[in-house]
Amino acid sequence: MVERKKIVIVGIPGVGKTSLVTRIVELINAQKHCASVHSYGTVMMDEAANNQVSDRDNLRHLPVSQQKELQKQAAKKIAELTDDVVFVDTHAFISTDEGFYPGLPYHVIQILEPTHLIAISARPEEIYNRRMKDDSRNRDKISIEAIKKELAVQDAMLASCSVLSGSPLKVILNNEGKIEEAAQNVIDAIGVGV
């Protein structure tokens, strides 16, 4: 049995975060630990369905006040989970009509109480190529310069979360074809021996 951990793992679209965290959970569970992953956006969407929002990618177009309430509701649901290792798959920020809104504002950090913060990153060119190939989501088209700005905003937002929560922050590169290496780097950073 490992010490209970709650890991918030963030990454801008196209870094391969969801594929990576799925692999990490497989590796941890193969060692007889109880690990799970919960997509913050999916939990928020479950709550938003009551408000007639039918597309997850439209959550970011809701007024910030509604997003704030959905964040609180989702954080409370996730905070109740009791697995040994809980991964919260989310974003450091949401690009809204009003500007960059923190995906992990202070009120959410207080509810979640993360033990670790992990940022998944990749080279901007890799991110761009991955986004262009992804037709499974309704994503905005973007330039490499805009991706660089998103990475900078992510770093700033997550550094603030680390200060506010007292949780260590680790940036992990998920380079093309190196998912096993990235997964092991995350496992090492959170202190779960696999």
Tokens coding 83: 């697995």
Range of the domain at 50: 5-189
- 159/140 Cα distance (integer angstroms): 26
User: What is the domain-level CATH number for residue 102?
Assistant: 3.40.50.300
- 63 φ, ψ to 5°? -60, 145
89 inside domain:
yes
49 closest CA partner among 29, 34, 70: 70
Q: What is the pLDDT of residue 194?
A: 61
Q: Could you give the CA distance from residue 64 to residue 71 in angstroms, rounded to a whole number?
A: 10
State pTM to two decimals.
0.87
Supply 53's token pair.
Answer: 């929002």
C-alpha to C-alpha distance for 167 and 5, rounded to whole angstroms: 11
Structural domain includes residue 61:
yes
Within-domain flag for 194: no
CA angle, residues 186, 20, 162, in degrees to nearest 5? 45
Per-residue pLDDT reduced to its tens digit, 125-166: 999 999 888 776 665 678 999 999 999 999 999 999 999 999
Contact at 8 Å (CB) between 157 and 109? no
166, HSE (Cβ side, Cα atoms, 13 Å): 2
194 residues of the chain, pLDDT tens digit each: 458 899 999 999 999 998 999 999 999 999 888 999 999 988 988 888 776 677 776 777 778 788 888 889 999 999 999 999 999 999 999 887 788 989 999 999 999 999 999 999 999 999 999 988 877 666 567 899 999 999 999 999 999 999 999 999 999 999 999 999 999 999 999 998 76
User: Can you give the pLDDT at residue 121?
Assistant: 96
User: What are the C-alpha distances in Å from 151 to residues 14, 21, 91, 103, 120?
Assistant: 11, 19, 11, 14, 10
Cβ atoms 36, 86 nearer than 8 A: yes
Residue 179 lies in a domain: yes
Distance CA 57, CA 35 (A): 27
Q: Which letter does DSSP use for residue 146 in this model?
A: H
Number of domains in the chain: 1
